[in-house]
Chain A
Amino acid sequence: MDETKNIKTKVILYILLFIVAVVILFPFVWIFLTSLKTAGDITCYPPKFIFDASWDNYKSLFKTSQTGAAASTLNFSRYYINSLIIAGFGTLLSLIIGFGAGYTLTRAKFKKESTRENVAFTLISFWFGPELAIILPLYIFFNKLNLLDNHLALILAYQLIGIPFTIWLSRSFFSDVPASVEESSRIDGYTALQTFWKITFPMVKSGLAATAILTFIFEWNNFLFALVIGGRNTMPVTTGALGFISYEAALWGQMAAAIILSSIPQLIIAMFAQKNMARGLTFGAVKG
């Protein structure tokens, strides 16, 4: 648009952009600084911007024998591994099933055409309904089956987040590939599988990668499922981070360090899905 030509408007726009960026980044910068402070420096007022930085908070997160009132129950490296296991295998399962089902919903023939949308909408309603409507009864089932605080049970429950999302988003990308392109490749003698790998897949590759990344982020970030049906052995970073402030102790520095470490994986991989972000976060409703 033409308003960017003028120097004065340019300066104003840059100032506004800068303000937005500062507001967004400030909490991260501050929490990072907090994570480098000693307990005394954290609580002092006015807040210190210059202090003796140390990595002690990070080190203490990974010490096996911790001291202090609450420390004995906190085991951050365990939370981290749990998050990796649950979100990692959860994403893998979501992708295998979701991409297959997404492709099926795009291309397969159904006896009743309405089946396609009915299945898709039923699945997506898991995202929009309040989670507790499902997790409370699920809590009883898992309790009866002795599956509370079990990695596999959590991975299965996380599919309620993963499968609808991967189906919807991959379907949006698959339907970008014209059916006629696939048909003509079949006429050329490719099998269905060859058509998929040689024709369709290269066209949707970056879209599927974005889907995979966002699925992992959503599953890593999940809180309520883990809170209800997880437990001491399966606690991921999202519920684990809460434990640093409790009745017994307020380990602000360690909590800050845990927040920083728990946010890094998402931020790094999100950089690879930037292009498809608007589309991804709206399940394909917005093509941008």
Chain B
Amino acid sequence: MPKDKVQKSAKEIENNKLKYFLWLAIIIPLLVGIIPFFTGIGLSFTNWKLAISNIKFVGLRNYIEMFTNPDFWNALKVTGIFSGVSLFIEITIGFFVGWLFSVKLKGISFFRSIILIPLMVAPVLSALMWKLMLPQHGVINYLLSFLGIPAVSWLSNPNTALMTLVCIDAYINIPFVAIIILAGFQALPKEPYEAAAVDGASKLFIFKKITFPLVTPLILVALIFRLILSLKTFDIIYATTGGGPGNVTTNLHLLAYMNIFKYGQGAKATSIVLILFIFIFYISYKLVHRWTKATEYQK
């Protein structure tokens, strides 16, 4: 018995030593993350501006002004359209590309390493690459001219700017969806397919009743990640259009940035970004819930 006791206390000491790491992992994010976050909540109820030094409590004024400001509603619309369209494109094409890269062919691993490239390069650099190719007299318009498409200044034309950004986002993130779907196809169990083959099931039946349900949780993972990250898109818009022309590509995240660093309205910026935060938090909560449900039957 005494020996047992000694061992136990030794284990406890190790346990406590390990927790030092956890404390470090908590303290740094606490200092540079959690405290600023709650300070931000507080600031959103003040009149904080970059230019003034005495900060006063103003209650809900920033929020009321925000909800009555057409710029906010425009940014909300831009955020919604951008996320909706890019998600639709990325999930559908990403699913197809993921399936395509799962086929067993000679040299497939070469293609699989190419698909990672857009994911590894900084989004802001990818966006700048497209910016260099997209002007009126750029190479993209040159290539499109062979298809009979007239030259457009894609990023500075109000009619095309937002959809061009969606395409740049798709270039970067279709590979993200694809490698998740690819992982799903690679992990498919053999048994249901063998059973279906014995029963002589049709290919369409196999896809609908076996493959698709097995891959659904992965589609949901891709969807959760992409939705959350696309709602707060910033880099690629800032680097290409800067929110313009006018405000046709200004989403909520960019609107918050411009409020503080263009107009000096710190408190207004924090209130916008907090609304975006709540929005994202709510949606991801719902989706994660749905995902846990979809994976439950596999356990």
Interface residues of A (CB under 8 A from B): 1, 3-4, 10, 13-14, 16-17, 20-21, 23-25, 27-28, 30-31, 34, 43, 45-47, 97-101, 103-105, 107-109, 119, 122-123, 125-126, 128-138, 140-141, 156-157, 159-160, 163-164, 167, 192, 217, 220-224, 227-228, 237-239, 241-242, 245, 252, 255-256, 259, 262-263, 266-267, 270-271, 274, 277-279, 281-282, 285-288
Contact A262 B139 (CB under 8 A): no
Does B1 have its Cβ within 8 Å of any Cβ on chain A? no
A160-B29 CB under 8 A given contacts A13-B103, A136-B260, A221-B122? yes
In B213-236, the 8 Å CB interface with A consists of: 218, 221, 225, 228-229, 231-232, 234-235
Residue among B21, B105, B123, B266 having the largest count of chain A Cβ atoms under 10 Å: B21
Q: Given A137-B37, A138-B32, A159-B28, decide whether A103 and B21 contact each other with a Cβ distance below 8 A.
A: yes
Interface size on B, residues (CB 8 A): 91
In the complex with contacts A25-B117, A130-B253, A100-B25 CB distance below 8 A: yes
Pairs A–B under 8 Å by Cβ, sample size 23: A3-B103, A14-B105, A21-B114, A27-B130, A31-B133, A45-B142, A99-B21, A100-B20, A108-B19, A130-B234, A130-B252, A131-B234, A136-B256, A137-B270, A156-B28, A167-B25, A192-B14, A223-B123, A223-B239, A224-B235, A241-B124, A245-B131, A285-B221
Contact A163 B235 (CB under 8 A): no
Known: A4-B104, A136-B266. A282 touches B117 (CB 8 A): no
Query: Contact between B234 and A156 (Cβ–Cβ < 8 Å)?
Result: no
Q: Which residue of A lies closest to B261 (CB)?
A: A228
Binds A, one of B81-89, B157-165, B273-281: B273-281
Enumerate the 9 nearest inter-chain pairs by beta-carbon distance, A residue then B residue, closest first.
Answer: A288-B183, A100-B21, A101-B25, A221-B122, A278-B183, A137-B36, A45-B137, A130-B232, A137-B40
List, in ascending order, chain A residues with CB within 8 A of B182's CB. 278, 288
List CB contacts (< 8 Å) of B140-156 with chain A.
Answer: 142
Q: Which one of B60-68, B69-77, B173-181 is at the A interface?
A: B173-181
Which residues of the other chain, A, contact B18 by a CB distance below 8 angstroms?
A: 100, 103-104, 107-108
Can you name 7 extra interface pairs (CB under 8 A) apart from A119-B22, A156-B28? A125-B281, A128-B229, A136-B256, A136-B266, A262-B125, A266-B120, A266-B122
Q: Chain A residues with Cβ under 8 A from B32's Cβ?
A: 134, 138, 156-157, 159-160
A109 to B12, CA, bound (A): 9
Interchain CA distance A129-B238 in the complex, whole Å? 18
> By the criterion CB–CB under 8 Å, are A126 and B29 in contact?
yes
Query: B26: CB under 8 A from chain A?
Result: yes
The interface residues of chain A lying within 8 Å CB-to-CB of B280 are 128-130
Q: Interface code B118-140, partner A: CB below 8 Å = 1, 0 otherwise? A: 11111111101111110001110
For the complex, would chain B's binding face be called helix, strand, loop or mixed by DSSP majority?
helix
- Interchain CA distance A49-B133 in the complex, whole Å: 14
Tell me which residues across on chain B come within 8 A of A104, comparing CB atoms. Answer: 18-19, 21-22
> How far does the alpha carbon of A43 sit from the alpha carbon of B131 in the complex, in Å?
13
**A128, B228: Cβ atoms under 8 Å?**
yes
Chain B residues near A288 (CB-CB < 8 A):
179-180, 182-184, 186-187
B15 CB within 8 Å of chain A = yes
In the bound complex, CA of A217 to CA of B118 (Å): 12
Residues of chain B in range 162-199 having any CB-CB distance to chain A below 8 Å? 171, 175-176, 179-180, 182-184, 186-187
Q: Determine which of A20, A222, A266 lies in contact with B115 in the assembled complex, contact meaning CB atoms within 8 Å.
A: A20
User: In the docked arrangement, what's the CA distance between A270 and B296, Å?
Assistant: 33
B58 surroundings in chain A (CB, below 8 A): none
CA separation between A55 and B253, bound complex, in Å?
38
Q: B221: which A residues are within 8 A, CB to CB?
A: 282, 285-286
Query: B25–A267 contact, CB under 8 A?
Result: no
C-alpha spacing A135/B229, complex, angstroms? 17
Q: Find chain A residues with CB under 8 A from B121 CB.
A: 221, 263, 266-267
B117 contacts across to A, CB distance below 8 A:
24-25, 28, 267
Q: Is the CB of B19 within 8 A of A1?
A: no
CA distance A27 to B37 in the complex (A): 38
In whole angstroms, how far apart are the Cα atoms of A1 and B51 in the complex?
A: 65
CA distance A285 to B20 in the complex (A): 26
A80 to chain B, nearest CB (A): 13
Q: How far is the CA of A116 from the CA of B187 in the complex (A)?
A: 29
Q: Is the CB of A223 within 8 A of B33?
A: no
Are A101 and B22 in contact, with the CB atoms below 8 A? yes
Distance of A278 Cα from B178 Cα, bound (Å):
9
B166: min CB distance to chain A, Å: 16
A101 CA to B50 CA, complexed, in Å: 38
Q: How far is the CA of A250 from the CA of B180 in the complex (A)?
A: 39
User: B29 to chain A: which residues have CB within 8 Å?
Assistant: 123, 126, 159-160, 163-164
A252 to B36, CA, bound (A): 38
Instruction: Judge whether B52 is part of the interface by a CB distance below 8 angstroms.
Output: no
Interfacial chain A residues near B91, Cβ < 8 Å: none
Residue B78 at the chain A interface, CB threshold 8 Å? no
